[in-house]
Amino acid sequence: MLSSEIARLAGVTVRTLRHYHQIGLLPEPPRTAGGYRHYDVGHLVRLLRITRLAALGIPLSALPSVLDDPAAAEELLDELDRRAAADIERLTARRADIAALRDTGAPPDLPPELSAWRSGPASELPADMARYEHEQLVLVGHLLGSRYPASLAALFGGADEEPAASAPLTARFYALDDDTPEDEIERLVDDLVTHLGPVLARLADAPPVDAQAAALIDELGEQTLRSAQRAVLHRVRRRLARLDPLDPLDQG
């Protein structure tokens, strides 16, 4: 058999065949007078074994020992089974995330557990606030989700009605601009401090968030929020700091 024929019978490409020769998996066959490789059925059987083992996920680097030692194959099969189980678990979790995203209509780059805390569809929010809210949730989910799960749960946990309860406050905050009257701003500051009190209580037992994470969350607000909104946040933080000077997210 020539290269093209044995490759066709084994279901591989001629390029793959050459690669197996180069790394020593498949012995070089004798050549014809014209310089072509000439394979026999023994080469085909070894090639079929190689393709079968590779399809199981055995690395090519491990194949030489597996091809010649059944005991080595058993050990590798145990490891492959563990890897396959881990892959199944990971893919099952991924499918659950996809299903949750479909159910909520949340953007796919947003952690599903935070999707309930969106104020609403982006089309119903001012464009700059929709962008800020989305980027804030992505950032907080990443910075706190893996390193500070207790802090994330404290910030976004609690009763099921909390997202709805905070929606009017969020809408008032998003509507702030340089023309907002001072008395309206002061009422919003009062209401935000009252609303955020339970959050501080939940954070009491959570580990403090490191300065870099808090600074990055602050930086996003400084870059995105309007000046009136930034001023409100600073006033709220000063008020909250008097209630709890150890507030882990207080940087101002």
Residue in this structure with the two tokens 């590779």, named with its chain if needed: 54
Q: Once rounded to an integer, what is the mean pLDDT over residues 1-26?
A: 95
pLDDT range class, residue 249, cuts 50, 70, 90: very low
The answer to whether 103 and 76 have CB atoms below 8 angstroms apart is no
Q: pTM value?
A: 0.60
Q: Once rounded to an integer, what is the mean pLDDT over residues 35-54?
A: 94
Count the neighbouring beta carbons within 10 Å of the beta carbon of residue 135. 16
The answer to whether 177 and 226 have CB atoms below 8 angstroms apart is yes
**Residue-wise pLDDT tens digits, 176-223:** 999 999 999 999 999 999 988 887 777 777 777 788 888 998 999 999
CA distance 12 to 21: 13
Which ranges of 105-226 would DSSP assign to H, the alpha helix? 127-145, 149-156, 162-174, 182-203, 211-224
SS3 37: strand
Token output for 8: 């066709």
Between CA 213 and CA 124, with CA 220 as vertex, the angle to 5 degrees is: 125
Fold that domain 3-68 belongs to in CATH: Multidrug-efflux Transporter Regulator; Chain: A; Domain 2 (1.10.1660)
User: Per-domain residue ranges for the chain?
Assistant: 3-68, 107-243
- As a whole number of Å, the end-to-end CA separation of the chain is 77
